[in-house]
Amino acid sequence: MGNIFLLSVLCTIGIYIISGAAVTSCGDVTTNVPKELWTNWAMYSPYFAADKYESAPNGCQITQANILQRHGARYPTASAGERIMAAVAKLAAVQNYTDSSLDFLKNYTYPLSSDLLVPFGAAQSFSAGQEHFERYKSIVSEDQLPFVRASGSDRVIHSATNWTAGFSHASNHVYNPSLSVILSESDFVRKDRHLIDVLIFFQANNTLDDNMCPDAGNSDEQTGTWLATYAPPIAARLNEQAPGANVSISDVYNLMTLCAFESVFINRGSAFCNLFTQAEFEELEYYGDLDKYYNTGYGQELGPVQGVGYINELIARLTDEPVSDNTQTNHTLDASPETFPLGRAIYADFSHDNQMIAIYAAMGLFRQVTALNLTSPDTTRNWITSRLVPFSARMITEKLICTSGNVNQTEYVRIFVNDALQPLEFCGGDQHGLCTVDAFVTSQTYARNNGNGDFEKCFA
């Protein structure tokens, strides 16, 4: 498959393929590491179902599924990797540790690359494709294959191609969807001979990435406040265990994330995980909660507007009408049936965590009564990043036709985030999470009004 990071997982016989090389292991960090640990890695948690998926209610039939999925588990970004290695170097430079849990550092070599999917992350995407075929196979046919798009970073593209491979495998290769559109995240044109059948658009508006609001703020102040609240005792302990290391509170964060990144790479618990307690990982989770809330979520003035374009595309698909949007959709692409077809039963879009958070907020999901406190977590909150945007997170918007007695058929919408059915109180959702398509569209005034002027503020 050339340089395409395509993983065909055949765990039933113990083999999977990565870039043409056979590997005879199907290790899974979610079975090799205690769940109470990896479910507190915030945005670096592996995917897990936040609830049990509910089948369609009696009298209802699913007619469309709109899948929005985050890429699978990855290596740290290049810049994050540099910060992690600098923190590790401080500990590794110490000659004598006062705690044996650090002894592994005497022979430790940093094993991680940067930015790309790890094998487990590709497996997550493959597994999702299998799951989605099994769930929605009743609406699949030769004429109704999923239409698949991806934002243009390698890890997102390869998540999409692994998803299509998993979908095909689950159908015994009867139904073979392909990645049809890549929305570039770059300002330059490249040609990829391995993706010759894919339409790649450069310098195009992108509804699957959060890079089109240059004047938006970030979460540095809020996460910095929480880091200064929870991390000093941890840094003090590490400096006692590694005299002279001079570990900072920023190093604490980087070392804790290394636990997650290395674990999803080696498919077992990293030795760095043993340096921290369960309660401390819960504090790491809250760092992620603040990061997402104040970066592109409700706590960022220009966060939700970055999700408007996708919602207007979703409305077009649900209503089978042309896209109406003046934010970050590409009018040329969305006007073409080749690059934005209507009338499909399954759509699968692959994206990033920050963009998915913006979409949740623009839509009205997970709205908080009060803003997240910077120093005191609310233990009853439902804004928990590992449940919102773990690696391979997915939001699925289903359209259903329901009948009741002799009443005419009515079209409804329901939404799942990581298999947790959302109440949709903003459009009158019933006990089954159903609201009519018309009510859902009406409820999305922020998106239909192009962000009420917020998009223009992105370029003030």
Positions annotated as catalytic residues are 71
Tokens of 388: 């919102």
Angle between helices 308-319 and 353-363 (to 10 degrees): 70
Asked if residue 73 lies in contact with residue 264, where contact means CB atoms within 8 angstroms, the answer is: yes
Residue closest to 170 by CA, chosen among 123, 128, 141:
128
The DSSP bridge partners found for residue 414 are 398
Residues 6+ away with beta carbon under 8 Å from 359: 68, 307, 310, 311, 395
